[in-house]
Amino acid sequence: MARANAMPKSLGKVHPRFLTPHVSTILMGALSIIWYVGLTLVSEDILFDSLAALGLMIAFYIGITGFACTIYYRRELFRSVKNFFFIGLGPSVGGAILFYLLVKNAIELSDPANSESGNSWFGIGPPLVIAVFFLVLGVLLMFVQWRAFPAFFRRKPEVVPAGFLEGEVAAPGPTGVAD
């Protein structure tokens, strides 16, 4: 997102030797350490509840990624049987399974008895409260970014051009133009 001008440019910097996004990796590592130490000091039960919430969040974003794969490569789906299964059916079925598990686990984790702590926050289990809190926070941050970087949100949606997987056409870059 930093390379597409939706986040600060520094988060998209790639280390010249290791070829990794080192600034964002270090930032996320530091935030993870702060989160772990902070929750461990408060209560290990809350730490484990946050890990259960993380499972919900991962199911959500990887599920969306499965559907996004199929949508992005939709012009390639019927060019071969392999494409249909590996970039169409597989990711879509995976996304559907993850969304099923997301809903199933959200229902289970809404019962406070199913949390590590056994506590009730707002009448539901802490993992679900944590997951919903971060979902709402993510939406709020998206609106902040929308105001700060409106061009990113107004750009034309990308679709991989037909023939891309066979190497006939170059992939669009972060600006929507082939690199």
DSSP letter string, 55-99 = HHHHHHHHHHHHHHHHHHTTTTGGG-HHHIIIIIIHHHHHHHHHH
Residue 163 is predicted with a pLDDT of: 74
Percent of all residues in the chain with a pLDDT value above 90, rounded to a whole number = 47
Give the burial class of 56: count Cβ atoms within 10 A of its Cβ; 0-12 exposed, 13-18 middle, 19 or more buried. buried
Residue 98 has pLDDT above 80, yes or no: yes
From CA 81, how far away is CA 8, in angstroms rounded?
41
* Residue reference for tokens 């997301």: 102
Residue 134 is predicted with a pLDDT of: 93
Residue 160 is predicted with a pLDDT of: 74
What crossing angle do the helices spanning 90-109 and 126-148 adopt, rounded to 10°? 130
Residue 33 has pLDDT above 70, yes or no: yes
Mean pLDDT of the chain: 87
Which is more confidently placed, 161 or 27?
A: 27
Residue 95 has pLDDT above 80, yes or no: yes
Q: What is the pLDDT of residues 106-163, one digit of tens each?
A: 999 999 988 888 888 888 999 999 999 999 999 999 899 889 888 878 877 777 777 7
Residue 174 has pLDDT above 80, yes or no: no
Residue 179 is predicted with a pLDDT of: 46
162 C-beta neighbours (distance < 10 Å), count: 14
Query: pTM of the full predicted structure?
Result: 0.72
Which is more confidently placed, 17 or 116?
A: 17
Residue 89 is predicted with a pLDDT of: 96
